[in-house]
Amino acid sequence: MTVRPAPHHRPALLVVAHGSRDPRHSRTVRALVRRAGRLRPGLRVATAFLDFDTPSVPQALERLAAQGVHEVVALPLLLTRAFHAKSDIPAVLEESRRRVPGLRVRQADVLGPSPLLTAALERRLAQAGSLPRERSVTGVVLASAGSSDPEAIAVIADIAREWRHTGWCAVRPAFASASLPRAEDAVRELRAAGCARVAVAPYVVAPGFLPDRIARGAREAGADVLAGVLGPAPELAALLVRRYETAAREVPHQPLPALAGA
C-alpha cells in the first residue's frame, strides 16, 4: 500500500480498546474518544479494538493511511500496564507496520496511574450518592477488572493506599478476575473494620462482563453506594489527550479546558 502525505503535521490518535461482546462497551469507548477529540479540534482521532469488535487495529491503521496519515500515536485504553500493553498491543502494531509500509506508529503509555483517574472515581462516587459529609465514615472498594501481572496488581494497591489519605475511612482494592479479594469480600472486610458506610468504585473504563461481576458483588454484599464505570468522564478524556501529547512529543497547542459535567 502506498502511503500518501498527511494533510496534518500532528500524528493521528488511534485509541486501542480491549473490546467486548457487550455493545455497551463499544458505545462507551466511542463516546469517550469523541469527547477527547473535541478537546483538540483538528486532531484526527480513530478507535480500534483488540478483540470482539471492529475495526481491528490493522484495519484502523490501513484506513488512516488511506486517508493520507503517515504518523500515528496508538494509545492503549488501559488503566494499568499489564499483558495487553506489554505484549498484545506491541505485537499487533508490529504486524500493522509490516502491512502498511511507511506508516510510523508510536505506542503511548497506558492511562494509569494518574490523579485524573482518581478525580474521575470521585466524580462517579458523588454521582452515585456518596456525600462529602460522610467521607470519614465511608470505606471505598477500588474494584478493578483484575490481572495476573504483579506490576498491575501493585499499581492498584498503591492507588488504594494513596486514595486512603484523602479522608476516606479506608480504601481496599478488589478484583473481578485473576486476583483476590472480590468486591463482595472487600465490602464485608470494610464493614468488619468499622466503616459505617461502604462504597464500591469500579476502576474500569466501560461496561461489560467483569464490571457486571463487580456490580453483582457490591449488591450481594450490601454496599451503600455503587458508582458507575469511568466511561466518558471529562477527566478521562483529558487524560487521553495528555498521554497522546506526551507520546507525540508535542508542546500542547492550547490548555485543556476546565472540566465540566460528564
pLDDT at 167: 97
- Domain hosting residue 91, numbered range: 12-111+233-248
Mean pLDDT by 10 residues, the chain (262 residues): 50 96 97 98 96 94 94 95 75 85 92 97 98 97 92 94 97 95 98 98 97 98 98 98 90 49 48
Same domain, yes or no: 83 and 137 = no
- Give the Cα separation of 246 and 16 in Å (integer): 17
pTM reported for the whole predicted model: 0.89
Residue 122 falls inside a structural domain: no
Q: Is the CB of residue 25 less than 8 Å from the CB of residue 19?
A: yes
Residue 51 in domain = yes
Same domain, 135 and 198: yes
Domain count, the chain: 2
Same domain, yes or no: 43 and 107: yes
Same domain, 83 and 149: no
Residues 77 and 166 in one domain: no
**What CATH number has the domain bearing residue 215?**
3.40.50.1400
Same-domain status, 212 and 238: no
42 Cβ neighbours under 8 A, 6+ residues apart: 8, 10
Residues 65 and 152 in one domain: no
pLDDT tens column, 227-255: 999 999 999 999 999 999 999 985 444 44
In a domain, 189, yes or no: yes
Specify the pLDDT at position 85.
67
210 and 179 assigned to the same domain? yes
Rounded to the nearest 10°, the torsion over CA 173, 164, 231, 227 is 80
Q: In this structure, are 26 and 68 located in the same domain?
A: yes
- Do 97 and 142 fall into the same domain? no
